[in-house]
Each structure stands twice: as structure tokens, then as C-alpha cells.
Amino acid sequence: MSYQDVREYIEELNRRNLLQVIEEKINKDTELVPLVRLQFRGLPEPQRKAFWFKNVTDAQGKAFDGSVLLGALGSSRTIYGAALNVQPTEIAKKWASVHGNHLSPNQISNEGAPIKQVINKKLGPGRGVDQFPHLISTPGFDPAPFVTAGVWITRDPENGAYNLGIYRGMIKAPDRIGCATDVSTQHLAIQWEKARRAGKHLEVAVFIGGPPSLLMAAAAKVPYGVDEFGLAGALNEAPIDVVQAETFDCVIPATAEIVMEGIIRTDVLEPEAPFGEASGYLGPRKMEKVFEVKTITHRENPIYQGIVSEFPPSESTVMRKAAFDGIYTNHLRNACNIPSVTQVACHEMASCNMLFVIQLEKPELGQPWQALRAAAAFDASLGKIFVAVDSDVNPDSMDAILWALSYSMQPHRDVEIIRGKVPRLDPSITPSSDIRQYAYPDAQGASSMLINACREHDYLPVSLPRHDFMEIAKERWAALGLPKLDLKTPWFGYPLTEWTKENQEEAAFAVTGKYFKTGEKLQKRRIKT
């Protein structure tokens, strides 16, 4: 099943009982995001839903045409799976299947393209970007509404390659929006720098609302030059329909809800932020890029889409985890030729940017370190802590990770520090008086810690009753009518390496009441002191 637009996707969310429709009037500046935010602090993930607000006003009582959709991409893994039309357990497999199997977009004529229903080239108060219900994400702290789910379409000034990425935009005027690229390695920032060196401004089209696969492709960490239109088509299992933009040589989604076209100036920067970040803190005000809007096209009664970010967990962390786990696993197993890697897990409370845990199955000598270094090198700005663990350690469980860190490694032997990483939305970096950039107090930027917590010698069995005994206990538990269990791995003991035939025999004696035999044997092995 493919989705032509966000409207088809809304219908499917409603059919699956994953959509909360709000008909009551709601203030998009003070009430809307806090209402949706509550579910990320107060509900288990499976109970979270997407929210569709049909009667939206601002703090001054202004009503808006159209509606607002929030939490529709990543309120839960179930919702993320619905966007890709797979079960939550199949998300990583879906991502692995599309790499190298892209479907190029299908260009259609402007006639009949929904995004061309309204074309506005004369912007002004109430007719510019302010005609749409941009959301204040962190009321009480954010200085303005921000575009949070806008996909920015740019082209490489040298070779014309497309880039689609999600970047936040601070609403500053009817024809002006900030553009925040946190680090210079982000793909839009690379193209902006190329345009600056050529003495040109960077042309851009920003769309809001579209086939969900487009937003997921734009949010994914794929190598520079990868065609996100083709990736989105593969995720959607059908090519994305596109049309020609109004102001420059560029295609845009034909079924998007809103498109804003113009230039990102390369001759000036403006102060931008603060903004509530996924680190759990507000990001500081610094100098950022300026998007000057020239033309707006939109559908009639457009659906405005936002993403819930800020303090984790959030919609943005669910989206990152669902994509990053599969992308990093595929990278290490296939691109880096480490077949012992079975799973990579990032963690939402680390904003899915800072902590990555790599699970390996019987790694060959050196492979844990190979995997750690390759993961740290995947993206210059991602990853503060990388941990390698054995296959019996659940990389998604912090309890299991703490177990491995406590008893499967030695800091003096199994820890390595990598300097020179690019700081990204990290308040632990020493603040700078220069608001143009983060400070590099030691001239080395940020750093990463690599920890090899794989067992490197023989270990005795895990100290829990053996599987067969725990299965019997489970049956007794149920028969006694005791509360429903939510078992954490490991919930039974198992041998690792150091477990001999003699050990097995002694354990069998113990559970059959014959343990005196072991005592007699050990008596014969006495030594004098």
C-alpha cells in the first residue's frame, strides 16, 4: 500500500484507531503542542496517537483555513510503521530493503496537481508565511513559532544533485524564515557553502505535508548525494509524483499541502533561536541562515503538519530511532563488512544522537573495535558514547547495558577516546561569546568514548535458574493466578563459555538430591595449608 498524500495517510491512521480528532477550538500558540506533549510524558508508547486539530486559532483569536496535524510520524513505533505500511518489528528490515533499490520520482504537469490549487506571488501581512498556523513548540520559552516538519529541497550548485532535509525555521516576517543548520556537515549547509563560494544565493523550496515516506527519507541519515526522492519512492513502494517549482529549476511534491519558494541568502546571517531541543534543553541563540520567501503555493484548506521535538522521548526521537537502528546496522554489516554485528540500538533519552549500542554475535578478534570505530566515523556530529556488547545483552535495555559495562569490561583496557567530533546541540560544550558557532575550547571540538564491553575470555554461566526450570516456574505462576509478567532479558540462566561436562553433572546432582556425591568428590581434592 502506498500513500499519495498526507490526506490518504490520515484516513489510514483513523482506520487503525491511531488518530485523535479534535473538533474543539484550540490556540496553536499556547495550548496545541502542550496538549500533544502530555502523552510523551504520561502515556506508555503503545497508547500514543496522532492528533488532528480542525479548529485552530492563534493567541490573538485569528482563525486559520485548514487544520493542523501533529504526532503523525513518530508518536509511537506503531505509527511510524503505519507510515511505512509495515509492522513495528519490520521497520529495520524495510529500511534495509530500500538501500540501492530507489524509485525515481514521476514528474507530472502542473494542471491538476493539488499543490498548484493556490499560487501566491504577492506576499504581505496575512498573505505570506503568516497565513499558516505555524506552532510554538515550547510556549513560555520559544521566541516565535517555528516550522518543525518542513522539508527543505535544494540542489547542489555544482552538479544539480537534490537534497531533501528537515531543518527548523523560525518565523520572522511574512516573507522571511530562519534556517537552522546545526553543523557544517549537514547537507543543506554543504550546498549553501558551495553557493556562497560561487557568489550566489541558494535557491530553495520548503514543503509542508506530503506522502509520509518523503518526510522519513528527508529525516534519515543517508550519505551526501543520495537521492531522497528515490529513497522515498522505495519506502512508499510507488514513485513520488512531482511538479516543476514556480521560481527555479526544481521539482516539488505534487501532493504537498504547502510549498514556500525563495532563496537562502549567502551574504548575511541573522540571530536565530532559542528553541526547545531534543537534548532536553533549549538551544542557544546563534547566527543562522536567512530564507527569503518569494512565492507560496498551497492546496485549498491545507493541512499544516508539525513534529513534536524538545525533551525526550518525543516524536523526533521515535523517528530517529526507527530509522537509525536499521541504517547503522546496515552500514556496519554491509558497508563495513562486519557480519558479526546483529543489531545497533540508539536511545531516546540520549535523543538518539548520543548513545549507540552495537550487539555482536561471536565476533572475530578485533571486530568489536572495528565496529565501534566505524560507527563513530559514520557521521561527524553523531555519537558521544558507543558501546559494543555480546549477543545475549539486549542493546535496547539500559539495565542490560549497565550489566555489561559493570562486568564485561575494564576502563583502562577497554575504553578509547576519539577527539575532533563536531559538537551538535550539546550544552556540555563550553559556551562561547561568539554566537556564530559553538566554542572549541581545546581546539578539538567534541569527543566520543568507545567502550568494548564484549567478553574477551571465558565466563561462568549467567546466575539465574536454567531455562527449563524457569519455564516450569512460569507455568506455576500462571496457575496460581499471580499478576501478568513482563519478563526482562535475561530471565533465565545459560552457559557462556566456561562450563564443563563436570559442571553439568554436578548441577544435575544438585537438583536430584544427589549433591553429597559432589561433596565426596571434592573432599578427595583437599590440600594441606
What element of type H or E holds 120?
Answer: strand 118-120
Provide the pLDDT for residue 433: 63
Backbone angles phi, psi at 508, to 5 degrees: -65, -40
- CB atoms inside a 10 Å sphere around CB 521: 13
Provide the pLDDT for residue 432: 63
Q: What CATH class has 336-452?
A: alpha beta
What element of type H or E holds 169?
Answer: strand 169-173
CA distances from 158 to 12, 155, 200, 310, 514 (A): 41, 9, 11, 35, 80
Provide the pLDDT for residue 434: 59
Provide the pLDDT for residue 438: 47
Are the folds of 6-306 and 336-452 the same? Answer: no
Alpha carbons within 13 angstroms on the beta-carbon side of residue 11 total 9
Domain ranges of the chain: 6-306, 336-452, 467-523
Alpha carbons within 13 angstroms on the beta-carbon side of residue 465 total 9
Q: Determine the Cα–Cα distance for residues 510 and 465; give it in Å rounded to an integer.
A: 12
**What b/e string do you get for 47-60 counting C-beta neighbours within 10 Å, with b at 16 or more?**
ebbbbbbeebbbee
Positions in the chain whose pLDDT score sits under 70: 431-444
Chain mean position to CA 358: 17
Q: Determine the Cα–Cα distance for residues 248 and 245; give it in Å rounded to an integer.
A: 6
Q: Does domain 6-306 have CATH number 2.30.110.10?
A: yes
Provide the pLDDT for residue 165: 97
List 203's β-bridge partners, or say none: 263
Residues 6+ apart with CB under 8 A from 385: 350, 354, 355, 356, 448, 449, 451
Residue with cell 499544516: 304
Provide the pLDDT for residue 285: 84
C-alpha dihedral, 25 to 26 to 28 to 30, nearest 10°: 150
- Percent of the chain surpassing pLDDT 90: 81
**What 3-state DSSP class applies to 461?**
coil
Provide the pLDDT for residue 439: 45
Q: Determine the Cα–Cα distance for residues 467 and 472; give it in Å rounded to an integer.
A: 9
Tens of pLDDT, residues 337-348 = 999 999 999 999
